[in-house]
Structure 1
Amino acid sequence: MKKYSFLIFLCFCLSSAVEAKDSYFRGFFHGENVFVRNPYLGQDAGFCIEKIYLNGELVVENPEISAFEIDMQDLEMDTRVVIRIVHHDDCQPELTNPEVIENDLKFSWLKVYVDEDQIIWITTKESKEGFYIVEKNMDDGWMPLDTIKTKGGIFINQHSIELDHIQGDNLYRVQYHDPKMEVNFSESFNFYSDKEEISHAIDEDNWIIEFTQEVSYLLYNDNSKIIKRGKDVSCDIRKLPKGQYMIKYDGKKVYFEKN
């Protein structure tokens, strides 16, 4: 009889262990406490929640009330919050005011810097639906260089693109676009390059523009429309019709006529 009773007790313990379930709620502390709804399962089962942990510390055990307030006032502002709730498998506790930890996760620039080869920017709390535009300050204003999609998430993210500097000062900035907020601009970053100045020559017999070294260029027609772009030591213009053109490279604008 004792052996039989022990087996019943063991089966009950194993069954109870299987029925327990964990639910997690994550966010940041913004000055307000969180309220948890604790469903009542009936006279035999009692309430849904068994234990509540805040950032790994047990804050309440077997609360016998239908709603419970988690006191978070000892936390510093913007502290990361992880709420773990151990509860019965056949019920689901809920936060009655989840917005107090989920909202107001503000995007911020951590660092933007440029070296000889690239621009790198580090941010936090970027949107998954956002994107960046890298710009360079030219004679006629800020010109977009490239667009990069965000990675998203509440943690730190790093992005970069390769750059072609001109000799002397090079001023860059990055735009952050989020469908839920206004465009956010980084601080501008100036990089002085002492690279050798690039020049060109036009071979009118073969109609090829030759550069002194590899460079990125844009070729425009007389309507200011880009008709060719590339990165090379030369630009083949043999197939272009006669007319006026302009080529832009290394910060220079060169107008010429093809006969």
Structure 2
Amino acid sequence: MMRNYSLLFLLFTIISFSSIGKDTYFRGFYNGENVFVRNPYLGQGAGFCIEAIYLNGQLLVKNPDVSAYQIDMQGLEVDSRVVIRIVHDDSCEPELTNPEVIKDLLEFNWLKFYVDENEIIWITTKESKEGFYIVEKQIDNEWMILDTVKTKGGIFINQHSVEADHSFGENLYRVQYHDLKLPVKYSETFNYKSDKREITYAITDDWMIEFSEEVSFWLYNANSRIIKRGKDVTCDIQKLPKGRYMLKYDGKEVYFDKE
């Protein structure tokens, strides 16, 4: 009788070990994108390869019956550590179809860029401590500098903003990132449509340009060189020599002669 129990125990042990799956781990960092797992089909009656998927120790799914499974990681903080554990059949190997999205990004990366009524805002990761940004606005198909911003540095997320300078109608903005160790990197462009009232100007008898409200402006000479730029309600042109000038402001080009 004892011998029969021993044989049954041995048979149970063999069956149990033969059904134990294999663990495969993928490690990295969350960089804002979900991961897709390839789940091979083992054939009729055997089903799919994967038995369970865990994200940072938490069970996500058991026995997914799909050939590709998306791991939703949007609840994680960007730059947080990711450990994906996949339990699967011994006869197969699951794969990540986009393993690059959890690789530790060692270089600067744009995360978000947007504009509202008051601010131009951008969010980045892994910026240099010695870098800087140039904020630009497109005026008459030419990119004009609005402001410069120093980087904060560090491997994690940084947010920057400057005051917006909208004109009536369409406003196209972008930001440049400068780092001595990398080529210049440009953000996406963002088009913001503003319904703010039109800004007017007048030139006084004592050669002052007066605007109806504060605005960014650029003053060009006859050779198309910028001789003055600023953001104000006035522009003093008393000391400029006689000649023809062009004033750019609020999306307009205005020509005038100084006598």
TM-score, with length taken from structure 2: 0.57
Q: Does residue 212 of the first structure (1) align with residue 212 of the second (2)?
A: yes
Q: Paired residue for 2:182?
A: 181
Instruction: Confirm or deny that 1:146 pairs with 2:147.
Output: yes
Q: What amino acid is aligned across from residue 186 of structure 2 in structure 1?
A: F
Aligned residue pair count: 165
Take 2:219 and 2:142, find their aligned partners in 1: how far apart are those partners?
19
| Cα separation, 1, equivalents of 2:237 and 2:143 | 28
1:236 aligns with 2:236: yes
Counterpart residue type for residue 200 of structure 1: Y
Kindly state the Cα deviation for residue 216 of structure 1 after the two structures are TM-superposed: 2.0
Distance 1:119 1:111 in 2: 11
Is 2:170 aligned against 1:169? yes
1:224 alignment counterpart: 224
Shift in alpha-carbon separation, 1:202–1:159, aligned structure 2, 3 A:
same
SS at 1:232's partner residue?
Answer: strand
Ranges in structure 1 where 5+ consecutive residues have no aligned partner: 1-27, 31-77, 82-102
Alignment of 1:80-229 (within 5 A): 80=81, 104-203=105-204, 205-229=205-229
Q: Take 1:239 and 1:179, find their aligned partners in 2: how far apart are those partners?
A: 39
CA distance in 2, matches of 1:79, 1:215: 42
4+ runs of 1 displaced by more than 3 Å?
Answer: 78-81
Structure 1 residue 226 displacement after superposition? 2.4
Change in Cα spacing, 1:178 to 1:206, as seen in structure 2 (3 Å) is closer
* One-letter amino acid matched to 2:160: H
What is the rounded CA distance, in whole Å, between the counterparts of 2:127 and 2:195 in structure 1? 35
Q: Partner of 1:183: helix, strand, or coil?
A: strand
How many Å separate the matches in 2 of 1:219 and 1:177? Answer: 27
Query: Over residues 11-32 of structure 1, what are the superposed CA-to-partner deviations in whole Å (9 max), with x where a residue is unaligned?
Result: xxxxxxxxxxxxxxxxx948xx
Q: Share of identical aligned residues, percent?
A: 70
Structure 2 distance, partners of 1:117, 1:154, is 28
| Aligned-CA RMSD value | 2.6
Separation in 1, partners of 2:241, 2:182: 47
Alpha-carbon distance between aligned partners in 2 of 1:228 and 1:182, rounded to the nearest angstrom: 29
Name 2:72's counterpart in structure 1: none
